């Protein structure tokens, strides 16, 4: 698609693994799993399905500073947990990219964020009162209207430029990064803040439970005994700018978004195409977009939710796509973060870059014995794989049949 | 520089009376809510109106913009959760309450296997969808783009809107707008070329997104108009394209302003000389 | 048992959104999923919830459900045993 290199100059991330990249990488290495019953401070439930929670306080120090400097009078309850998680990740990313607020305000900045819960009106108390004919005070509606993640972030940062909130379910984070990369290539903006964020919500939690997609134990992606997913929450943000621009301002790329592809299964509202048809198509598009060969791929961060259907279909697709599946470590990191919905694609893109940077992939936490029925053999827990180069893939499969693939290269 | 794209066909659905589901799709839409029906019916209609092309399913993409998505379906799911309890909430309602369920239906029922992008914004989501579709066509990611703007109605939001406006009555009909974008070389005889889209958003009191107070649009000096309906701008833009298609006017700069920003689209007519032969107006590209 | 079968048929037609099907036209022994009535995996999980709600019958997992859901007859027998 383009000869313009999309450099990643900063990343920021919040999840059950903690806040901030160094905490994250340490915990990733240690395989630290913090998955447990839904805590009371999140929402009340009788259901036993465990979740991966981000820190109870969603705002990091740097995030707090960002808000404090810009909007000291912002009422605490008017901003959603999803937006606060996003702010923490954004603050970290722009810090890492060595960007000041004043610089951002002089630049055309695009903001592309994926979310699921973060785009819905989920104030139950308001709806309950409305149902009873009580005509409740429309404060929650006001907050909902002010809660579009990208618009709100532009407002908080004081920036101008393209703005998009992608609601493509589980592929949203991957799509947001792909979209932002396209903006840079087309000159729609000079710099982009891209990624995704989602908080755990009682509604989404019950929704996935009703679909019988959740495991009542910690999830086991690709394992023969896998029995479903665990929901998680968090945010992942990457800063993307053209290589030339980054170098001109003295920034050091930590990697590049080399390619992106997306395609639809056109199959079923909730189940993936059994052969992974859409994933195969998206994968091919991404490879072609990046101008690389499949054989060059050193690591695949799979969607790997731990549901019987997803892992089976995804493995089938990968077996058809990879000339030699045994040569490429395939991992899922959802055993460490849960399925963070709109944030997943972005958080996992960051994990992919981190692994490529360090030249090493850790095995799939939760996967003790890879299911022999799967068409490929993912890297199981406890094993590590040295990576033969710096090129990798992060992919997502979504409700509604969307499939999105990002090709990333670490510096 | 982004090349122009051709608007090959457009379709408006302005009330549920326009929303008759063809028999061939009735079974497939049995679980669909109004939001999804709007999407599928408007998408099918506009594809049928567009010139037929030899395209593979993965060469067509769907780009949808919505402000509120299937919000009433998420309330119906919440009803089952509140009334029937935690193990008895409806999985069908939940899976249909996610914003991109409609794009999934469109993909499946019309066999469109390219990228499906659903975006949400409270300002002008249909313009955002057009913008992204245009980039996708220009970059070659897709050879044809189906662009949809969908809003179902919501008594909950209508009630809030009423309160925010000092109890002035509000009601809106569900509505949809669907366009097909093609590359210029594939444009049909009556295509309108979309040359440019510029969208600028500024911070504002968010209530305005719902009340749409102060929203106004014009085209080349005609009378500015405004409306309370969240899809009104998209209807007006689609009308402008239709008028341009059959008029002798060469170019329209369709402009919209509101407290939350402004947008401008540049639309150009494909012109024909008296012999009925194609005479392209080549602009400064 | 006949009354139960009738109730199940009505429940399926109404709550699984099959307006073009009349309950009396559903054959007791015909497959419900894939062929026959043509229900899918989303209908299956919805059916689990409906059985819980209308008959107080719990289904532990979809493997258990698979046998029960083969036809109206097997479903009626399953519900009759469990309620």
A148:B163 CB<8 A: no
**Which pair of structure tokens corresponds to residue B218?**
């014009």
Pair (A326, A225) in one structural domain: no
Per-residue model confidence (pLDDT) at position B221: 38
B88:C17 CB<8 A: no
Q: A358 in a domain, yes or no?
A: yes
The answer to whether residue B171 scores a pLDDT higher than 80 is no
| Bridge partner list, A256 | A7, A409
**Which pair of structure tokens corresponds to residue A385?**
């794989």
Per-residue model confidence (pLDDT) at position B219: 58
HSE on the CB side for B29, CA within 13 Å? 23
Pair (A245, A310) in one structural domain: no
A255, A284, A302: which is the final residue of a domain? Answer: A255
Pair (A200, A242) in one structural domain: yes
Rounded CA-CA distance B223/B225 in Å is 6
> Which of the residue ranges A30-39, B146-155, B157-166, B267-276 has the most confident prediction, judged by mean pLDDT?
B146-155
Taking CB atoms and an 8 Å cutoff, what residues of chain C touch B76? none
Rounded CA-CA distance B94/B77 in Å is 6
Domain C2-82, CATH: 1.10.1200.10
Q: For chain C, which residues make up each domain, given as ranges?
A: 2-82
> In a 10 Å sphere around its CB, with 0-12 CB exposed, 13-18 middle and 19+ buried, how is residue A130 labelled?
buried
β strands within B58-174, DSSP E = 60-66, 116-120, 144-151
Per-residue model confidence (pLDDT) at position A76: 67
All residue ranges of chain A with pLDDT < 50 are 1-2
Is B95 part of the contact surface with chain C (CB cutoff 8 Å)?
Answer: yes
Do A396 and A170 form a contact (C-beta atoms < 8 A)? Answer: yes
Do A259 and A380 form a contact (C-beta atoms < 8 A)? Answer: no
Per-residue model confidence (pLDDT) at position B282: 33
Rounded CA-CA distance A231/A43 in Å is 14
- Enter the ipTM: 0.96
Mean pLDDT estimate for chain B? 88
Domain count for chain A, please give it.
Answer: 2
All residue ranges of chain C with pLDDT < 70 are none
A199, A227, A255: which is the final residue of a domain? Answer: A255
Per-residue model confidence (pLDDT) at position B272: 44
| Rg (chain A; Cα; Å) | 20
Pair (A191, A201) in one structural domain: yes
Pair (A236, A351) in one structural domain: no
Chain C interface mutation, best of A210, A212, A228, highest count of C Cβ atoms under 10 Å: A212
Pair (A30, A125) in one structural domain: yes
Pair (A306, A372) in one structural domain: yes
| B85-105 confidence digits (pLDDT tens) | 999 999 999 999 999 999 999
Per-residue model confidence (pLDDT) at position A80: 94
Shortest CB distance from B112 goes to which of A164, A179, A264?
A: A264
C48:A269 CB<8 A: no
Pair (A276, A229) in one structural domain: no
pLDDT band with cut points at 50, 70 and 90 for residue B226: very low
Taking CB atoms and an 8 Å cutoff, what residues of chain B touch C53? 84, 88
Shortest CB distance from B91 goes to which of C17, C19, C49?
A: C49
Task: At A330, give phi and psi (nearest 5°).
Answer: -115, 120
| A359-401 confidence digits (pLDDT tens) | 999 999 999 999 999 999 999 999 999 999 999 999 999 989 9
Taking CB atoms and an 8 Å cutoff, what residues of chain B touch C42? 31, 91-92, 95
Per-residue model confidence (pLDDT) at position B37: 95
Chain C interface mutation, best of B30, B76, B94, B98, highest count of C Cβ atoms under 10 Å: B30
Q: E strand or H helix at A358, and its extent? A: helix A344-358
Q: A247 in a domain, yes or no?
A: yes
Percent helix, strand, coil in chain C, to 5, is 60, 0, 35
Is B31 part of the contact surface with chain C (CB cutoff 8 Å)?
Answer: yes
**Which pair of structure tokens corresponds to residue C73?**
């007859």
Q: A306 in a domain, yes or no?
A: yes
Q: E strand or H helix at A141, and its extent? A: helix A139-145
Range from A166-180, B166-180, B234-248, C11-25 carrying the lowest mean pLDDT: B166-180
Per-residue model confidence (pLDDT) at position A24: 83
Taking CB atoms and an 8 Å cutoff, what residues of chain A touch C45? 210-212
Tell me the residues of A at the C interface, defined by beta carbons under 8 Å apart: 210-212, 268-271
Instruction: From residue A58, give the alpha-carbon distance in Å to each of A274, A350, A401, B34, B135.
Output: 38, 19, 31, 36, 35
Stretch B55-82: mean pLDDT: 97
Per-residue model confidence (pLDDT) at position B223: 38
C49:B31 CB<8 A: no
pLDDT band with cut points at 50, 70 and 90 for residue B229: confident
Q: Which chains sit next to A, with 3 or more Cβ pairs under 8 A?
A: B, C
User: What range does the domain containing A396 cover?
Assistant: 257-410
Taking CB atoms and an 8 Å cutoff, what residues of chain B touch A398? 100
- DSSP states of A188-224: S-SEEEEEEEE---HHHHHHHHHTT-B-SSS--TTBT
CATH number for the domain spanning A39: value is: 3.40.47.10
Per-residue model confidence (pLDDT) at position A30: 80
Q: For chain B, which residues make up each domain, given as ranges?
A: 5-279
pLDDT band with cut points at 50, 70 and 90 for residue B169: low
Q: A1 in a domain, yes or no?
A: no
A268:C62 CB<8 A: no
Taking CB atoms and an 8 Å cutoff, what residues of chain C touch B22? none
Pair (A312, A261) in one structural domain: yes
Q: Which residues of A164-182 are buried (b: 16+ CB within 10 A; e: fewer)?
A: bbbbbbbbbbbbbbbbbbb
| Total-model pTM | 0.96
Pair (A320, A293) in one structural domain: yes
Q: Which chains sit next to C, with 3 or more Cβ pairs under 8 A?
A: A, B
B-C Cβ pairs (cutoff 8 Å, strict): 27
Rounded CA-CA distance C50/B175 in Å is 32
Nearest CA in chain A to C62: A212
Is C34 part of the contact surface with chain A (CB cutoff 8 Å)?
Answer: no
A255, A277, A301: which is the final residue of a domain? Answer: A255
Q: Fold for domain B5-279?
A: Peroxisomal Thiolase; Chain A, domain 1 (3.40.47)
């Amino acid at each position: 698609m383009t000869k313009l290199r999309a450099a990643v100059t900063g990343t920021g991330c919040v999840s059950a693994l903690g806040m901030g990249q160094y905490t994250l990488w340490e915990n990733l290495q240690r395989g630290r799993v913090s998955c447990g019953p839904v805590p009371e401070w999140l929402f009340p439930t009788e259901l036993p399905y465990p979740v991966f929670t981000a820190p109870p306080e969603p705002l990091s120090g740097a995030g707090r500073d960002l808000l404090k400097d810009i909007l000291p009078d912002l009422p605490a309850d008017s901003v959603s947990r999803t937006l606060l998680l996003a702010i923490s990740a954004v603050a970290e990313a722009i810090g890492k990219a060595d960007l000041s607020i004043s610089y951002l305000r002089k630049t055309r900045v695009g903001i592309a964020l994926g979310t699921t819960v973060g785009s819905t009106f989920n104030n139950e108390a308001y709806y309950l009162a409305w149902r009873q004919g009580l005509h409740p005070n429309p404060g929650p509606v006001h907050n909902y209207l002010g809660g579009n993640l990208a618009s709100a972030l532009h407002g908080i940062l004081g920036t101008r430029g393209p703005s998009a909130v992608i609601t493509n379910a589980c592929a949203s984070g991957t799509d947001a990064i792909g979209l932002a990369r396209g903006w840079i290539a087309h000159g729609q903006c000079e710099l982009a803040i891209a990624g995704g964020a989602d908080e755990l919500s009682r509604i989404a939690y019950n929704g996935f439970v009703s679909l019988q997609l959740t495991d009542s134990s910690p999830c086991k992606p690709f394992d023969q005994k896998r029995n479903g997913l665990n929901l998680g929450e968090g945010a992942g943000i990457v800063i993307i700018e053209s290589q030339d621009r980054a170098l001109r301002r003295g920034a050091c790329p930590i990697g590049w978004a080399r390619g992106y592809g997306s395609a639809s299964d056109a199959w079923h509202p909730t189940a993936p195409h059994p052969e992974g048809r859409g994933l195969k198509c998206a994968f091919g598009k991404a490879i072609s977009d990046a101008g690389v060969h499949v054989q060059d791929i050193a690591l695949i961060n799979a969607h790997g939710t731990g549901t019987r259907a997803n892992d089976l279909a995804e493995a089938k697709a990968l077996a058809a796509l990879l000339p030699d599946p045994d040569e490429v470590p395939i991992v899922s990191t959802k055993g460490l973060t849960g399925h963070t919905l709109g944030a997943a694609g972005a958080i996992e893109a960051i994990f992919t870059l981190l692994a490529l940077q360090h030249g090493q992939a850790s095995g799939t936490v939760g996967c003790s014995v890879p299911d022999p029925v799967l068409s490929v053999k993912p890297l199981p827990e406890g094993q590590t794989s040295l990576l033969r180069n710096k090129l990798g893939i992060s992919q997502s499969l979504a409700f509604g049949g969307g499939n999105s693939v990002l090709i990333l290269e670490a510096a | 520089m982004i090349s122009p794209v051709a608007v090959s066909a457009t379709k408006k659905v302005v009330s549920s009376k326009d929303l008759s589901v063809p028999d061939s799709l009735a079974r497939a839409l049995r679980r669909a809510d109004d939001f999804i029906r709007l999407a599928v019916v408007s998408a099918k209609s506009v594809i049928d109106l567009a010139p037929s092309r030899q395209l593979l399913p993965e060469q067509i993409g769907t780009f949808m913009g919505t402000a509120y998505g299937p919000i009433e379906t998420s309330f119906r799911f919440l009803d089952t959760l509140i009334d029937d309890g935690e193990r008895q909430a409806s999985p069908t309602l939940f899976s249909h309450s996610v914003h991109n369920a409609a794009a999934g239906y469109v993909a499946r029922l019309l066999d469109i296997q390219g990228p499906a992008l659903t975006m949400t914004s409270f300002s002008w989501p249909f313009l955002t969808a057009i913008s992204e579709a245009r980039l996708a066509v220009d970059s070659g990611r897709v050879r044809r783009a189906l662009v949809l703007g969908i809003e179902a109605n919501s008594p909950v939001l209508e009630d809030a809107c009423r309160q925010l406006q000092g109890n002035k009555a509000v009601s809106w009909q569900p509505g949809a707008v669907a366009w097909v974008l093609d590359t210029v070389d594939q444009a049909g005889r009556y295509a309108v070329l979309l040359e440019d889209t510029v969208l600028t958003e500024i911070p504002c009191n968010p209530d305005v997104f719902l009340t749409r107070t102060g929203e106004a649009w014009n085209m080349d000096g005609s009378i500015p108009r405004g409306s309370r309906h969240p899809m009104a701008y998209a209807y007006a833009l689609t009308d402008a394209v239709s008028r341009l298609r059959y008029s002798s006017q060469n170019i329209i700069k369709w402009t919209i302003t509101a407290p939350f920003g402004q947008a401008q689209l540049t639309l150009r007519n494909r012109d024909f000389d008296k012999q009925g032969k194609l005479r392209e107006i080549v602009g400064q590209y | 048992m006949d009354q139960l079968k009738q109730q199940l048929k009505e429940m399926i037609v109404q709550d699984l959104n099959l307006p073009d099907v009349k309950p009396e036209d559903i054959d007791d022994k015909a497959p419900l999923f894939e062929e026959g009535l043509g229900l899918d995996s989303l209908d299956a999980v919805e059916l689990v919830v409906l059985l819980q709600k209308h008959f107080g019958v719990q289904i532990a997992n979809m493997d258990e459900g698979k046998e029960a859901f083969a036809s109206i007859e097997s479903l009626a027998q399953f519900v009759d045993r469990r309620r």
